């Protein structure tokens, strides 16, 4: 790559990185203000009832909630810039420590759902694109639409009822049994990884069993997107000149689809799938409440219910940072693959 091209790519990346700062600042400000103007009191919510006005005022003063709104905002902004997201109102724990402990559990759920979505969506999308306008194509397209449009909570409840009825011994809630959670030493805050690291295969099997239902529920949300993307790109790729040339050389149709059409169709698909991280994370919040899964989403929902400002602010900022970072990586890949958009 020429020095001019390298400089253009560097400027493109720097601009995208700098754009993250105002985006996160706007989101932080919006979340901060929305929590303060919404009805309810975090102190009363944290104790589960009404307090004597004098005690309530004392606790609010201790948390700094009696100060002007702009003072609270700039104080919180200064804390965030120092990497301090405050302490939870309900149990007085540092938000950073809670995020560190719970994020691994949400990551397990999201990655498991992503694997299931790819394992189901890629082959079905390829088959649908290869057999366009056939009965198989129609059935796969209907399945993709239903999997994407079906309410997440409805799918989770339906799977739970079905499994509980037909396989009563199969776990339907939590990330692992109490024994596994207690016995597996924590090194990475990823329980499955820690169990593999400890060579505790009964614990690995137990964790995988617990992951099936929530990961399938969340993964189905993305299956429909993948099927549609793969189908459309396979159909377009099959019309390419190089595919026709491969057919003219006598290469069997199955190999043409696998080696030429499908592989080339994955290039735009992989990029677009990277943009679906926000969809998975938002779905993970609801999935964690259905199954009860002890991750960031479940913690964030409890924070909203208890009006715990630091929990909601820290959780939303974390999820937004992940989504923006993934989109940044995708933008950078676009800039590497297609130099024309560096000047867009």
* pLDDT on residue 42: 77
pLDDT interval class at 139 (50, 70, 90): very high
Instruction: Identify the CA nearest to 156 among candidates 141, 177, 173, 178.
Output: 173
In the predicted structure, residue 14 carries a pLDDT above the cut 60:
yes
In the predicted structure, residue 334 carries a pLDDT above the cut 80:
no
Percentage of the residues of the chain whose pLDDT score is greater than 90? 14
* pLDDT on residue 343: 46
* pLDDT on residue 258: 67
What distance in Å separates the CA atoms of residue 196 and residue 202, rounded to the nearest whole number? 10
**Between residues 283 and 279, the one the model is more confident about:** 283
Q: List the end-to-end C-alpha distance of the chain, in Å, as a whole number.
A: 19
**Between residues 330 and 186, the one the model is more confident about:** 186
Q: What is the mean pLDDT of residues 96-110?
A: 89
* pLDDT on residue 49: 60
Mean pLDDT over each residue of the chain, to the nearest integer: 82
* pLDDT on residue 6: 57
Contacts 24+ apart (CB under 8 A), 72-81: 72/32, 72/36, 73/29, 73/32, 73/33, 76/32, 76/313, 77/28, 80/28, 80/317
Q: What is the pTM of this model?
A: 0.81
Determine which of 95-99, 143-147, 232-236 has the lowest per-residue pLDDT on average. 232-236
């Amino acid at each position: 790559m020429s020095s001019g091209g390298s400089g253009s790519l560097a400027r493109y990346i720097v601009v995208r990185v700098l754009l993250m700062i105002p985006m996160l600042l706007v989101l932080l400000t919006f979340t901060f203000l929305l929590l303060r103007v919404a009805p309810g009191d975090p102190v009363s919510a944290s104790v589960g009832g009404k307090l004597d006005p004098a005690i309530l005022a004392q606790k609010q003063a201790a948390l700094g909630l009696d100060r002007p709104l702009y003072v609270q905002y700039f104080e919180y902004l200064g804390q965030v810039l120092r990497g301090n997201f405050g302490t939870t109102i309900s149990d007085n724990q540092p938000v950073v420590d809670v995020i560190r402990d719970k994020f691994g559990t949400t990551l397990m759920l999201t990655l498991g759902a992503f694997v299931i979505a790819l394992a189901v969506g890629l082959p079905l999308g390829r088959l649908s694109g290869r057999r366009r306008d056939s009965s198989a194509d129609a059935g796969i397209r209907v399945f993709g639409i239903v999997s994407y449009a079906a309410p997440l909570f409805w799918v989770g409840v339906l799977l739970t009822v079905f499994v509980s009825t037909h396989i009563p011994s199969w776990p339907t809630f939590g990330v692992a049994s109490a024994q596994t959670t207690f016995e597996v030493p924590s090194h990475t805050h990823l329980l499955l990884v820690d169990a593999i690291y400890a060579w505790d295969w009964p614990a690995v099997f137990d964790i995988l069993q617990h992951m099936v239902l929530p990961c399938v529920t969340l993964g189905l949300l993305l299956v429909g997107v993948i099927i549609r993307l793969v189908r459309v790109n396979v159909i377009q790729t099959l019309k390419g000149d190089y595919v026709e040339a491969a057919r003219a050389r006598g290469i069997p149709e199955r190999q043409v689809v696998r080696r030429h059409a499908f592989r080339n169709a994955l290039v735009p698909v992989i990029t677009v799938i990277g943009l679906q991280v926000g969809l998975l994370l938002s779905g993970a919040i609801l999935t964690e409440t259905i199954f009860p899964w002890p991750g960031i989403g479940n913690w964030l929902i409890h924070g909203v219910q208890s009006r715990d400002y630091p929990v909601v602010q820290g959780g939303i900022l974390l999820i937004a940072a992940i989504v923006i970072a993934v989109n940044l990586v995708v933008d950078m890949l676009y800039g590497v693959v297609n130099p024309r958009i560096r000047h867009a």
